[in-house]
Structure 1
Amino acid sequence: MFQLRPGSIAIVIGAQTPVGRGNIGKSVELFGLCQPGEMFLNPVNGVMTRMPLSASRPLWLVTGEVTAFDGQHGFAFVRAEHLMPLDPDCLPEYERAQTIA
């Protein structure tokens, strides 16, 4: 299985919401994995944000030409399973061998 890391590049491959589906196919930079209840400084708008304690799972805060659930541009929150890394070092061994060959 691939590993997502802050600072790496990924492509959005899935979404749960209509706004999120507009981000599918876009490349993003991974900022950080935000846990329920965690506070962090949004790198795009500079606003301190807290993930709700009621969130059912951690979400990746990503930046790029994407739109958040509330219509803000430049960042979004994405489930890990909806991201595919574009960094060859993150690919499974089989896929890495195919890209090198």
Structure 2
Amino acid sequence: MFQLKPGSLAIIIGARTSAGRRNIGKSVELFALCQPGQRFLNPVNGVMTELPATADRALWLVTGDITSFDHQHGFAFVRPEHLMPLTPEDAPYAVDAFTVN
């Protein structure tokens, strides 16, 4: 199983909302895995942000050329299963393209 880590790069491969689907295929940097009710300083706009306590799961705050659910540019919350790491050693099916059998 692969592990997502703050500071690493990933690609958005899925979304549940129409706003989130606009970000599919875009590369992002992982900032932090945020728990419901957790407050933090947003790295993009410098505003204190909170993942609502009513959220049913932890979500990754990611940054890049993406749009949030409320149309703010530069960041979004994404489910872990909708992210695939771009770092080969973290990828779930990393393959050495130069291996000859």
Gaps of at least 5 residues in structure 1 are: none
Distance in 2 between residues matched to 1:17 and 1:68, nearest whole Å: 11
The alignment's TM-score, normalised by the length of structure 2, stands at: 0.92
Distance in 2 between residues matched to 1:61 and 1:8, nearest whole Å: 12
CA-to-aligned-CA distance 1:23-82 (integer Å, 9 cap, x gap):
000000000000001110100000001111111000000000000000000000000000
RMSD, aligned α-carbons: 1.1
Distance in 2 between residues matched to 1:13 and 1:43, nearest whole Å: 23
Superposition pairs of residues 7-46 of structure 1, within 5 angstroms: 7-46=7-46
Query: Which amino acid in the other structure matches residue 54 of structure 2?
Result: S
Moved over 3 A (4+): 97-100
- Residue identity (%): 68
Q: Which residue of 2 aligns with 1:97?
A: 95
Quickly say closer, same or farther: Cα 1:25–1:49, change in 2 above 3 A.
same
Quickly say closer, same or farther: Cα 1:100–1:82, change in 2 above 3 A.
farther
**Which structure has the larger Rg?**
2
Gaps of at least 5 residues in structure 2 are: none
Q: Which residue of 1 aligns with 2:59?
A: 59
Query: Which amino acid in the other structure matches residue 95 of structure 2?
Result: A
In the alignment of these two chains, the number of paired residues is 99
The alignment's TM-score, normalised by the length of structure 1, stands at: 0.92
Distance in 2 between residues matched to 1:100 and 1:55, nearest whole Å: 44
